Amino acid sequence: MSARNCGDCTLCCKLIPVPELGKLAGVRCQHQSRKGCSIYPRRPLSCVAWSCRWLVGDDTADQSRPDRSRCVIDMMPDFVTIEDKETGERKNVEAVQIWCDPKTPNAWRDEHVLDYIERRAAEGKLTLVRFGSKEAITVFAPAMSHGQGWGYVRGERLGRGHTAAEIAQALRT
């Protein structure tokens, strides 16, 4: 597979939060222009370090470029805490983050995105489909729903996101 590049795609500049700039998820970056990033040489570290899975080709050969699919699959995992209703036991489960353009909220239901979610479920990972800084759903692919098919739980107001340290700690346990 040939190396991928962003081309005209700047969807991450809209969908991904940038704490150093006070930029929320789902909001176009103030530095985004028709020609790309107006502060590119001095952009924040979180922008420098960030990359989407489509760009690096991490099991995304069947995916359309994010500006066409309207979904950005994050390289950074997150976690969801699941509570067993019978025992009260709480368990952190790794979750893939898919940032979906709020203007096309069903874009994550594309067959190629669902295939990707199913492949991650086979690895024991959930999927968080995020529509902004405070709205998300947790998607349960058939492999994780104990024979119940596809399911999802709409998140309540999410508030503060997890830090990289919190994610690392949660996924170690």
Contacts of residue 98, defined as CB under 8 A and 6 or more positions apart, other chains included, come to: 71, 72, 73, 74, 108, 113, 117, 127, 128, 129, 130
Is 122 a domain residue?
Answer: yes
pLDDT 10s digits, 99-158? 999 999 999 999 999 999 999 999 999 999 999 888 899 998 988 877 788 988 887 545
Is 164 a domain residue?
Answer: yes
Give the total number of structural domains in the chain: 1
Is 5 a domain residue?
Answer: no
Is 68 a domain residue?
Answer: yes
Give the whole-angstrom CA distance, residue 51 versus residue 54: 9
Question: What value does the mean pLDDT take over residues 151-170?
Answer: 62
pLDDT 10s digits, 31-83? 998 888 899 999 999 899 998 999 988 788 889 999 999 999 999 888 888 88
Position 27 pLDDT exceeds 80: yes
Give, in order, the Cα–Cα distances in Å from 115 to each of 85, 111, 112, 137, 150: 29, 6, 5, 17, 12
Enclosing domain of residue 144:
58-172
Is 124 a domain residue?
Answer: yes
Contacts of residue 118, defined as CB under 8 A and 6 or more positions apart, other chains included, come to: 141, 142, 143
Is 3 a domain residue?
Answer: no
